[in-house]
Chains A and B, each alone.
Chain A
Amino acid sequence: MSFNSELGRIPVQIVEIDQDYCGNAYGVGACTALIGTTGSIKCFNTYKTCQDPENFDKQSITLRFAKAQTDLPDEEYLIPSLKSVSTSSTKLNIGSRSGTEKPLGKRASVSITITDHPHSDNFVDPYVSERAYNPLERGTFWGKWLKRNPYYNGRNIRVLDGYFGQTLAEMQTRHYVIESISLPNSLGTVAIKAQDILRLADDDKAQAPLLSNGKLLSDITTASTSLVITGGVESEYNQGGTSIIRINDELMSYTSLAVGVDGDITLSGLGRGNSGTEIDDHDLDDSVQGCLEYSNIRPDIIARDLLLNYGNIDTAYIDDVAWDDEGTTWYGSVDGTRIISEPTGVTELLGELCEQYMFYIWWNELTQLINFKAIAPEFTTPVTLTEENHFLQNKTSLTTDADQRVSEVWFSYLPKTPVDDLDKRDSFRRTTARVDPTASSSLEYGERKVYEIFSGWLDNDTQVSLLTGRLIGRYRNNPTILNFSLDAKDRGLELADLCDIQFKSLVDVTGAPETIRYQIISKNESVPGEVIKYTAIKFEFAIGFRAAKWMVEAAPSYATATDEDKLNGFYWADEEGQVNGEDGYVWS
């Protein structure tokens, strides 16, 4: 039996903060600090108090705060001053369809309250025994800490939820980065706010392409085949290997780039009026912006490139193998093409990709990875949750999100030029509509619900047809949202997981219980170590279709196939639409 399913389990919650800490000792070795010369007292091994910043050897120590309770692990130095931890989990915006959510969904965040108190300076001051004062009689922990460590933004903070008896390594750990730490208020508490790593890719922090700083050194005419840029750097003009620039509303390609001794950049072999833009004269000091081009690139690869090269995300946060596996499986013959001619928010671009290629990405606080998943049929049999054995009392509710329903998809694609505003229909060469007239008829929902998409990415009629068909299939009916809570014994259910639900409100037309499949879009440990609150959306990949995998050549015949083979495999129906008396799969 694991700790989380033990009766009498004792929840333990710990907050860890990684504090920058110099690896040198004061005045020893590389450190040239000297009392009386560089300072009147020794430093605190932090950058702010450093007396030899050039030799600051940035390493880290981990501060740990726990709730004031008897049963705490004894393996580390724990300060029992933690008052509360309030987490707001990631909420998936599947396919970026929910207009009330940000394109990448709601970010995971955490608010932490810690009680301030006198402190011995043990652990945080390596020279505490040499001080001429008693630290317990001087200030409080956080007043001193914030003075010594003002540069905490972006540092790692973790929330550990476990049980007494577990080691720290065995506890469930959620990862965030620090946004802010308040000074102690009049009640003697400190508030810490932290968010998930995807905040680094927010539009105000990350754009693609990066802004170019160069300007034209002199006027150019419509006949010019070369130009000189001053004030810029080479890397601004070959972003992502793209040899296209934008001046005003004209795009130009170039064949060679040369940097002069004065730093000016000469572009030669100009291809004027690139991508349908109008050739024009341009003046001295006009800004020259480097563009970013993706040409027939799989959408998961584009998304990964945006995150890693423009979204400030470290490679350690993306599992290349998992992304590639998902991309190869579902986007093997799908690609995107686009020239982005001015700095555009990375989150905005990712939201477009999620919407137009039907996938979603999210920060997994537990694995410390950014996950990528296509909206696709599921072939595994998920766990079944029942009101008898799983749902906590009086915590379950079902709602309908009518805003997400769709009866028509209008899809505009193939922009006339990359410099046009891509949020109006006349900027595109084609608009196609996919309509489900039955859904909007008076016999069903009785109203049209138009979902309009402007795409700068898709340029292929087949892909557009496939996408619009999938969108209608996925969103034809009002999605139902299920909110429920589980005991910690069932905390293994994760974001994006599927689950089969049996609940008294879910019945067929005769009133008989019906098992409905849902997908988890939000998970929040509302009572640490005890209660986990979930939100799930009804999972429908397509209405009236059964998805199947193309089976291997050596697959068994229907007569000898296992139930799993039959569930996941693809047995073509005979002329009567029957396989061994059962419904066969529909070829679509």
Chain B
Amino acid sequence: MSIYISNALVATPGLADEPLTHTRIGYNTVITSAGLTGTAGEANYPLSNVLNPATYERYKPTTPATCTLNIDVLSAVDVDYVGIQGRGITNVKVYSSSDDITYTQLVDFNPTGRAIMALFEEVTARYYRVTLTGSALAIIAMKVGKALAMQRAIYGGHTPITMGRTSAIRPTMSETGQFLGASIQRKGLGTQFSWGNLKADWYRQYFDLFVQSEPRVNPFFIAWRPLSYPNEVAYCWAAGDITPSNTGTKDFMSVSMSVEGFSDVV
């Protein structure tokens, strides 16, 4: 897990919609199959798998040490994040361009984990380019778009998803009580996010769009407190329906969601 926050965002907090201590959710993407080109993928692991939400469908470039993905959105759109769930990535570069000729570098960083989120000041462009270097590169998912910046921060009681490791262990014992062995049935990541005192208008204008994107079937990237804990990023999906509740007279809303995260140990 690894997050990149551009220097400008850190130095000029006002550039971001909300403080970088607030959760960022990367759920929408401007990548389309028609607008995606780049380094060809190996047989059975084509470039189009970048858009396939199934995590077993991966893109493995035929040049395993470097690959380039070009995104043509067909018209200029606002973008402020790139999310990647991958393997073997040691460097990420992100560029934007208005003419597909001259590109401006937005991101250049060396991630330390496999769930990667790059946050940068919003740009408006038609063309984007992501260049990855590493070894045995594989992309399980990638999104490029405008992240949802939560209106409120998360404080006490939260389990960071990267620490929300779940497992089922089954020991076996002999007739006389000797410990014979133990198997790990399954492992994964899971936690719950809760936000209160969200302005009702804000919820309806922003968060409800996220809920409408069906996060149970369309996984998303999430960084619960990017500035404080840049390594705590995950690629997740909601474990249940997300329904808010009105908190009363001040027209606030509260919402919580349980999520399960992609855990990749290979």
Write out the residue numbers on chain B whose beta carbons fall within 8 Å of the beta carbon of A393.
Answer: 172-175, 177
Residues A69 and B186 in contact in the complex (CB < 8 Å), given A80-B56, A487-B172: yes
Does B178 touch A at the CB level, under 8 Å?
A: yes
Q: How far is the CA of A185 from the CA of B54 in the complex (A)?
A: 22
Assess the A488–B176 pair: CB atoms within 8 A: no
Minimal Cβ-Cβ distance residue in A for B263: A70
18 other contacts beyond A9-B181, A71-B265, with CB at 8 A cut-off? A7-B181, A9-B184, A11-B183, A70-B264, A71-B187, A77-B45, A120-B52, A122-B57, A128-B46, A388-B175, A388-B178, A389-B178, A389-B180, A392-B180, A396-B175, A489-B180, A529-B183, A531-B172
Instruction: Sort A-B residue pairs by CB-CB distance and give the 3 closest, nearest first.
Output: A387-B175, A487-B180, A70-B263
Q: How far is the CA of A389 from the CA of B180 in the complex (A)?
A: 7
Assess the B44–A123 pair: CB atoms within 8 A: yes
Q: How far is the CA of A531 from the CA of B45 in the complex (A)?
A: 36
Q: How far is the CA of A530 from the CA of B169 in the complex (A)?
A: 11
| A135 CB to nearest chain B CB (Å) | 10
Assess the B184–A10 pair: CB atoms within 8 A: yes
Residues A10 and B173 in contact in the complex (CB < 8 Å), given A70-B264, A123-B44: no
Write out the residue numbers on chain A whose beta carbons fall within 8 Å of the beta carbon of B191.
Answer: none
- A9: contacting residue among B48, B174, B183, B266, CB under 8 A: B183
Q: How far is the CA of A33 from the CA of B147 in the complex (A)?
A: 49
Minimal Cβ-Cβ distance residue in A for B175: A387
Assess the B174–A389 pair: CB atoms within 8 A: yes
Minimal Cβ-Cβ distance residue in B for A392: B172
- A530: contacting residue among B33, B170, B173, B265, CB under 8 A: B170
Minimal Cβ-Cβ distance residue in A for B264: A70
Minimal Cβ-Cβ distance residue in A for B57: A120
Q: How far is the CA of A395 from the CA of B177 in the complex (A)?
A: 13
Q: How far is the CA of A122 from the CA of B46 in the complex (A)?
A: 8
11 A-B contact pairs sorted by A residue (CB < 8 Å)? A9-B183, A71-B266, A74-B266, A80-B56, A120-B52, A122-B44, A387-B175, A389-B180, A392-B172, A488-B183, A530-B181
Residues A391 and B175 in contact in the complex (CB < 8 Å), given A78-B56, A120-B49, A489-B180: yes
Does A248 touch B at the CB level, under 8 Å?
A: no
Q: How far is the CA of A117 from the CA of B184 in the complex (A)?
A: 26
Assess the B56–A388 pair: CB atoms within 8 A: no
Minimal Cβ-Cβ distance residue in B for A504: B175
| A3 CB to nearest chain B CB (Å) | 11
0/1 string, B161-175, CB within 8 A of A gives 1: 000000000101111
Does B215 touch A at the CB level, under 8 Å?
A: no
Minimal Cβ-Cβ distance residue in A for B187: A70
| B69 CB to nearest chain A CB (Å) | 16
Residues of A bordering B, CB below 8 Å:
5, 7-11, 69-72, 74, 77-80, 117, 120, 122-123, 128-129, 134, 136, 164, 387-394, 396, 487-489, 503-504, 527, 529-531
Residues A387 and B176 in contact in the complex (CB < 8 Å), given A77-B44, A122-B46, A123-B44: yes
Does B134 touch A at the CB level, under 8 Å?
A: no
- With most chain A CB atoms within 10 A of its CB, the pick from B52, B56, B173 is B56
Assess the B184–A8 pair: CB atoms within 8 A: yes
Residues A392 and B183 in contact in the complex (CB < 8 Å), given A70-B188, A120-B52: no
Does B101 touch A at the CB level, under 8 Å?
A: no
Residues A7 and B174 in contact in the complex (CB < 8 Å), given A74-B266, A120-B54, A123-B44: no
| A393 CB to nearest chain B CB (Å) | 5
Does B11 touch A at the CB level, under 8 Å?
A: no
0/1 string, B103-145, CB within 8 A of A gives 1: 0000000000000000000000000000000000000000000
| B37 CB to nearest chain A CB (Å) | 13
Minimal Cβ-Cβ distance residue in A for B179: A7
| A5 CB to nearest chain B CB (Å) | 7
Minimal Cβ-Cβ distance residue in B for A4: B181
Q: How far is the CA of A24 from the CA of B57 in the complex (A)?
A: 26
Write out the residue numbers on chain A whose beta carbons fall within 8 Å of the beta carbon of B266.
Answer: 71-72, 74
Assess the A392–B186 pair: CB atoms within 8 A: no
- B183: contacting residue among A10, A79, A117, A134, CB under 8 A: A10
| B31 CB to nearest chain A CB (Å) | 14
Q: How far is the CA of A487 from the CA of B178 in the complex (A)?
A: 12
Q: How far is the CA of A516 from the CA of B145 in the complex (A)?
A: 71
| B16 CB to nearest chain A CB (Å) | 33
